Amino acid sequence: MKEKTKKLKIVLFTGYNCNNRCVFCIDADKRALPERTTKELLALIYAAGKQGADILEIIGGEATIRPDFTALVRAAKKVGIASVVCATNGRVLADLAASQKIVDAGLDAVIFSIHGPSAGVHDALTASPGSFDQLMKGMANLKKLGFRRISGNTTVVKSNMRALPALAGLYVKLGVRNVEYIFVDPTYGGAKNAFDELVPKISAAAPYIKKALRIGLAAGLDQWKARYVPLCHFKGYETQISEINERTLFLTEHWAPDFKNTDAIGSRRVVSRRRPPACAGCARFQVCEGLWVEYLNHYGDGELKAVKSRV
Ligand code: SF4
């Protein structure tokens, strides 16, 4: 039963097929799983509507490469879901006709995954030459069609963290009002398999993430956020931490082909993130989720420092 004050957000995974091969992808080991059928997805969309979903986020893999993508969006609007959102690598949108079809289907918002300020940085991470240029073209196409609800997310890894300020400059130039800098999740998939190559120390990455947030603030973009970071490295940025915000705003369910999680926000705290012994007595303990368990297994908790005051 959803609490009246919170919005119900259902994240619907269509499957794990993708036209990129991002090296850090959490789904890297799931590519061979079968895609959900159209019939299955339409039934799930109907169920989401019946359950009172306020937001349906359609993701893959890469959902836009499915021939039925626009039919799924239309169905979600037809069952009365107020906000139908897609997280995408943006490549399909490089085709103006495809963009037009997606906009016509009634999609409400698009979240582009941008992992660098240039083709050099982005394409190396997506392992897909040309993916940055297509993404930029896709975003330009949406704007050309008058579509304005465009957000960005960036996975922070070793090879792009130094480029975050430049990427922030690009986001400012593109006028992206909602951006998330997401500290890489090494629980499964690409970042777990190549941890040493990909996962930076939080003490190394935090200064660049904070610099990127400040670049946004200086441009009047105060909705930019950092995700999956320990709060002791983000003192003074508490209003820009995704988890703190989402806990008050959303109930989030994940409906994937291989699992269903009816409390994605709460379970993360219990299962995949941890506040280790170094957090004892911390003033932020209740609101902080600490670090990824997998991160602590590799690097330990030596970078964490209990916050003394609530100020
Ligand atoms: S010491 Fe632990 S609980 Fe406190 S802010 Fe850091 S990670 Fe969070």
Task: Give ligand 1 pocket residues (Cβ under 6 A).
Answer: 230-232, 275, 278-279, 282, 284-285, 288, 290, 304-307
With b for 16 or more beta-carbon neighbours within 10 A and e for fewer, the 258-290 pattern comes to eeebeebbeebbeebbbbeebbeebebeeebbb
What is the spatial distance between Cα 310 and Cα 9, in angstroms, rounded to a whole number? 31
Query: Percentage of the chain surpassing pLDDT 90?
Result: 96
Q: How far is the CA of 293 from the centre of ligand 1 (A)?
A: 14
Atom of ligand 1 nearest to the CA of 289: 8
For tokens 């963009």, name the residue.
99
- In this structure, the residue with its CA closest to atom 7 of ligand 1 is 290
In this prediction, what percent of the chain has a pLDDT beyond 70? 98
Query: For residue 269, what pLDDT is reported?
Result: 87
Asked if residue 43 lies in contact with residue 89, where contact means CB atoms within 8 angstroms, the answer is no
DSSP for 199-268? PPPHHHHHHHHHHHHHHHHHTT-TT-EEES--GGGSTT-GGGBHHHHHHHHEEEEEE-SS-EES-HHHHH
Query: How far, in Å, CA of 237 to CA of 45, rounded?
Result: 36
Nearest CA to ligand 1 atom 3: 285
Q: What's the Cα-to-Cα distance from 294 to each of 165, 227, 300, rounded to whole Å?
A: 27, 16, 9
Q: How confident is the model at residue 4 (pLDDT cuts 50, 70, 90)?
A: low
CA-to-CA distance for 6 and 252, rounded, in angstroms?
Answer: 10
Q: If you compute the radius of gyration of the chain from its CA atoms, what whole number of angstroms results?
A: 19
Q: Whose CA is nearest to atom 6 of ligand 1?
A: 232
How confident is the model over 234-245, as a mean pLDDT? 95
What are the residue ranges spanned by the domains of the chain? 7-272
Q: Which atom of ligand 1 is nearest to the CA of 282?
A: 4
In the chain, where do the E strands start and end? 7-13, 55-59, 83-88, 109-113, 150-156, 178-183, 225-227, 250-255, 260-261, 273-274, 291-292
CA angle 202, 203, 206 (to 5 degrees): 70
Going from the Cα of 279 to the center of ligand 1, the distance in angstroms, rounded, reads 5
Structure tokens at 300: 């330990």
Mutate to test the pocket of ligand 1, among 234, 284, 293, 299 (most ligand atoms within 8 A of CB): 284
* 62 vs 308, higher pLDDT: 62
Q: What is the pLDDT of residues 273-287, one digit of tens each?
A: 999 999 999 999 999
Ligand 1 atom at minimum distance from 305 CA: 1
Q: Separation of 235 CA from ligand 1 center, angstroms?
A: 10
What separation in Å is there between the alpha carbon of 193 and the centre of ligand 1? 26
pLDDT of 309 > 80? The answer is: no
CATH for 7-272 (2.60.90.10, 3.30.450.40, 3.40.630.30, 3.20.20.70)? 3.20.20.70
Tens of pLDDT, residue by residue over 87-111, are 999 999 999 999 999 999 999 999 9
Q: Is the dihedral of CA 110, 288, 298, 268 positive or negative?
A: negative
The residue whose CA is least distant from atom 2 of ligand 1 is 279
Q: Is the pLDDT of residue 161 over 90?
A: yes
Mean pLDDT for the chain?
A: 96
The Cα-based distances of 195 to 77, 131, 233, 303 in angstroms read 40, 24, 21, 18
CA 158–ligand 1 middle distance (angstroms)? 22
Residue 255, sorted as left (phi over 0), alpha (psi -120 to 50) or beta, turns out to be: beta
pTM of the complete model: 0.96
